[in-house]
Amino acid sequence: MRISGSEAYEGGYGIEEGIEFARAFEPYIDLIHVSTGNYDVDEVFTVTHPSMFLEEGVNVRYAAAVKRRVNIPVATVGSLGDPGQMEEIIASGRADVVESARSLIADPDLPNKAREGRQDDIRPCLRCLNCFSVLLPTGFYTCSVNPEQGYDIELRSAAAKPRKQRVLIIGGGPAGMQAALTCARRGHEVVLCEKSPRLGGALRCEENVPFKRRVGAYLDYMERQISRAPVEVLLNMPVTPEIAGAMNADVIIAALGGKPASPPIPGLGSPGVVLASEAYADASLVGATAVILGGGLAGTELGIYLASLGRDVDILEMTGGINDGGNFLHVKALNVEIKKYGVRMHFNTRADAISPPRVEAEDTQARAKRVFEADTVINALGTQPLQEEALAFYDRAAQFHIIGDCRSARNMERAVSNAFHVARDIGAY
């Protein structure tokens, strides 16, 4: 039987009542599975399914409290994916069974790899909640890091044994790395070129952000997998069409990513405006007060990060809510943090002109002019695909593909999935 040990919100039942339930059911059941929260209460939905803002194993304490008062086996669940931690929970007697949902979606082989002592081969879950956000409207789910999830039927039939191809991949972000791994596992000869000194792409800018630590862990995992695969990696290697042509590849995959979007707002390009990626990478660029232009996931998470560092933050978003890109459950977690840190969200508010430290805007519902002033103005208005740059490579090999953000700037799930499926088909016909 599964219960919440505590509903963990004001007005819900607490752990003492949860223990009473457990004891009442005990004579009739074999095992009690102790979850937490309440599915229908927004502020704790992301405690039941712990968000990226919560620590690993955040709900084990409720299972442990129940276990102390019953005599049947107790299972615990919630943000568990580290085999060492799972082992410790059992060894210390806090629970008899550890359960995992999303860590097994991210890597269904987690238990096998743990048994073999291959912890650093486990693909980490980001706790991004993309899976569940896809599931509710569609009935099936995909995963940001496991490109096979959701394609079980398509992948059931093995892909035809490929003709071996020499594949040049340009760009070492999530899309380029996934394409390189899939091509190498299919037996192709693979060269992966990255213009910067490091693989990882756009998301490396978030490495200092505590609640994005799992993204860093995933990029490190991918980098490790590539280092163990037959992939030739060339770093500090900005590829031009001329260089690409000289590399005599059978297939070119362009995975160049994107650049910051620059809608025609007067003053947006002025030197005082900091890019979101710059602010993520170095928060010292941001003064005591900040106005963030753009309330998408990247802008809103940046606001939360800066507010957690003590900055006073206003976020201007032109639409009527956080632009969630489909991940509406993660927004429940963002709302908890927005409230916690007092980030001010201004929806239906369009920035019209910028002259740092001043931003002139319009409240499009009230049809009223608004002026915001802050030490730092930040552009988090999204990403524009480097599509033209990518197309410049199209005639430098017999076969050419564009993947990831340079095809359409979306998110990691789209980039990784696109890369996997394109790479899997290479040489298969």
Ligand X SMILES: Cc1cc2nc3c(=O)[nH]c(=O)nc-3n(C[C@H](O)[C@H](O)[C@H](O)COP(=O)(O)OP(=O)(O)OC[C@H]3O[C@@H](n4cnc5c(N)ncnc54)[C@H](O)[C@@H]3O)c2cc1C
List binders of ligand FMN among 164-183 (CB under 6 A): none
CB neighbours of 423 closer than 8 A, spacing ≥ 6?
167, 178, 179, 180, 182, 183, 186, 253
- Rounded alpha-carbon distances, angstroms, from residue 27 to 3, 6, 347: 15, 21, 53
Residue with tokens 């990226």: 52
Comparing CB distances to ligand X, the nearer of 124 and 258 is: 258
Name the nearest CA neighbour of 48 among 266, 332, 248.
332
Comparing CB distances to ligand FMN, the nearer of 100 and 323 is: 100
* Partner in contact with 77, chosen from ligand SF4, ligand FMN, ligand X, none, beta carbon below 5 to 8 Å by kind: ligand FMN
Name the nearest CA neighbour of 252 among 396, 385, 391, 392.
396
3-state secondary structure of 399: strand
Element (H or E) spanning 86, and its range?
helix 83-91
Q: Taking CB under 6 A as the rule, does residue 106 contact ligand SF4? A: yes
By CB under 6 A, the count of residues binding ligand SF4 is: 13
Name the nearest CA neighbour of 350 among 258, 261, 263.
263
Q: Taking CB under 6 A as the rule, does residue 151 contact ligand FMN? A: no
List binders of ligand X among 222-261 (CB under 6 A): 237-239, 255-258
Q: Taking CB under 6 A as the rule, does residue 293 contact ligand SF4? A: no
Give the interface segment with ligand X, choosing from 74-82, 84-92, 166-174, 265-273 (CB under 6 A).
Answer: 166-174
List binders of ligand X among 41-100 (CB under 6 A): none
Give the interface segment with ligand SF4, choosing from 100-108, 187-195, 253-261, 276-284 (CB under 6 A).
Answer: 100-108
Which sign does the torsion angle of CA 376, 207, 300, 419 carry? positive
Q: Taking CB under 6 A as the rule, does residue 416 contact ligand SF4? A: no
Interatomic CA distance for residues 239 and 193, integer angstroms: 7
Comparing CB distances to ligand SF4, the nearer of 144 and 323 is: 144
Q: Taking CB under 6 A as the rule, does residue 328 contact ligand FMN? A: no
Comparing CB distances to ligand FMN, the nearer of 130 and 178 is: 130
Q: Which of 103, 146, 277, 300 binds ligand FMN (CB under 6 A)?
A: 103
Which DSSP category does 121 fall into?
Answer: G
3-state secondary structure of 34: strand
Q: Taking CB under 6 A as the rule, does residue 49 contact ligand FMN? A: yes
Give the interface segment with ligand X, choosing from 75-83, 153-161, 191-199, 282-290 (CB under 6 A).
Answer: 191-199
Phi-psi group of 9: left, alpha or beta (phi > 0 → left; psi -120 to 50 → alpha; rest → beta): beta
Q: Taking CB under 6 A as the rule, does residue 294 contact ligand X? A: no
Q: Taking CB under 6 A as the rule, does residue 58 contact ligand FMN? A: no
DSSP 265-327: -TTTTSTTEEEHHHHHH-GGGS-SEEEEE--BHHHHHHHHHHHHTT-EEEEE-SSSS-B-TT-
Interatomic CA distance for residues 292 and 306, integer angstroms: 10
List binders of ligand SF4 among 366-405 (CB under 6 A): none
The site for ligand FMN (CB under 6 A) is made up of: 2, 35, 49-50, 77-80, 100-103, 131-132, 135, 141
Binding residues for ligand X, rule: CB under 6 A, are 144, 170-176, 193-196, 201-203, 205, 237-239, 255-258, 276-277, 280, 298, 383, 404-405, 410-413, 415
Contacting positions for ligand SF4 (CB under 6 A): 102, 105-106, 125-131, 143-145
